[in-house]
Chain A
């Protein structure tokens, strides 16, 4: 699914008949952007930069003050087709807080209730969603979501969105509060969904390493404007941009840059951990030979 934002601005202050002298500054200012199908898009920015507002516009929770949001060239807001936004799956921060049912199965099947599906199809869909998030159906379906571990709870919550088969998945800081193994597993999951089902994935992240390693595109938001848009490796190598956000260069990029500066490698861009290790061991070997 392709998403297009045309000249979108958003202000929280409601329009009044009497325009007062005080006008709230726009949270988002004239955004112009196209998100193509199958992208892994990371959004970064400080708190208050308009990230959540931007995401909520994509899901249709908010309507833009000016401009329009197009999902596959249709504007669901102006054409009064809010059901188009159902193609967008939205996973909030700490999604495990939304769990409410007595069993994992019921919780995941919540979104299917209003569709009135036959039991077998419902079961099939839940099974598939649980497979996607790597939870064993037989083992987990009858357990209470409240007795699961944090990572498992989060998977259940994600399955609750995935079960609706969205074409676009939005995640607001999906790795917040997760330990390293759960984080790695989550990104494995996202990559898998992205590759196998062609799902477009948009997520908010504050971890630059995470962005460099997993995103195909980075949008850096500051004061309601995208000040950077492009591949994370090039964007995050730009010292000016890094400084304007007060970010430190991601460690993977630092290593790649230093190896390049010393003339050990010639490749532009990010080295994978293996490549970096190879390059370093190569130079160490050379030194050993010299010493001998």
Chain B
């Protein structure tokens, strides 16, 4: 019955999923930096192609890829329009595309910009689609460990994030149930006009609120009764060890970053 499509991650045990989460986050950051710094059309295209190949290796659905890219259409269009207005080298030969006029540099800039947007989104999408949220949070916590010395509550923040993620499916199930329950006793308000439907929102939100607070209270008691006392002295259930594979992808992404400055 469970529909988990809102959680992007689905366990498939592909090569990408086995990467160490710390390394994955680091590599994603480096790759993002190189995407942003890169102003070579060929190289940037190659990077996008690489991301798409990774997408394929991760056995993610092509539909999701198309959907992700199409959802950015508005950014692509606005970027291209912006670039046509902002003609960089007026002396250049002009390219006419419908009602838009570009200088060569402007067109390249526009495409680069679009690739940048698509690249970053694909990269992030790839990261969350191949890493279980809990592993991602653990990786984040390990990376942010140094900040603990500055008394930044890293562990607490990550714990909150994890709990929120964990309770999302339960909450969604609850919403569905409350919605049906209110429909069942609502005298058909859900089939009437918008104002009538609007009045149905409060009866849904109120029980949801009450239940969430009750649930939070219960969770706090349950955590305490299992001796949770925060970060101090807490041992991890999963031990992460860096493999040669992780170092090699790091090396590759650093090389990728350096390549920009060489070319």
Contact = CB atoms under 8 A, between A and B. Distances in A.
B191 A100 contact: no
A115 B183 CA distance: 14
Nearest to B180: A61
Contacts of B210: 97, 146
A89 B180 contact: no
B182 A86 contact: no
B199 interface: yes
Interface string B201-228: 0110011001100000000000000000
B208 to A, nearest CB: 9
Given A12-B1, A99-B207, A100-B203, A114 B184 contact: no
Given A82-B191, A83-B191, A92-B180, A98 B185 contact: yes
Contacts of A98: 178, 181-182, 185, 203, 207
B196 A92 contact: no
A86 B1 contact: no
A101 B182 CA distance: 12
A56 B179 CA distance: 13
B236 interface: no
| A61, A86, A100, A101 pick with most chain B CB within 10 angstroms | A100
B153 interface: no
B187 A111 contact: yes
A97 B178 contact: yes
Contacts of A161: 184-185
B81 to A, nearest CB: 36
A35 interface: no
B230 interface: no
B19 interface: no
Interface in A242-257: none
A41 interface: no
Interface string B148-185: 00000000000000000000000000000110111111
B188 interface: yes
A100 B187 contact: no
B207 A86 contact: no
B211 A97 contact: yes
Contacts of A146: 210
Contacts of A101: 203
Interface residues of A, number: 28
B185 A164 contact: yes
A16 B187 CA distance: 34
Contacts of B178: 97-98
Interface string A138-161: 000000001000000000000011
A114 B192 CA distance: 8
A50 B102 CA distance: 62
A110 interface: yes
A28 B180 CA distance: 20
A86 B185 contact: no
A86 B181 contact: no
Interface string A86-111: 10011110010111110000000011
A271 to B, nearest CB: 38
Interface string A113-145: 111000000000000000000000000000000
A282 B187 CA distance: 55
A111 B181 contact: no
Nearest to B209: A100
A59 interface: yes
16 contacts: A56-B180, A90-B185, A91-B184, A92-B181, A97-B178, A97-B181, A98-B203, A98-B207, A100-B207, A101-B203, A110-B187, A112-B187, A113-B189, A113-B199, A160-B185, A164-B185
Interface of A: 12, 56, 59, 61, 82-83, 86, 89-92, 95, 97-101, 110-115, 146, 160-161, 163-164
Interface of B: 1, 177-178, 180-189, 191-192, 196, 199, 202-203, 206-207, 210-211
Given A61-B183, A113-B187, A114-B188, 14 more contacts: A82-B191, A89-B185, A90-B181, A91-B184, A92-B177, A92-B184, A97-B178, A97-B211, A100-B203, A110-B185, A110-B203, A146-B210, A164-B185, A164-B187
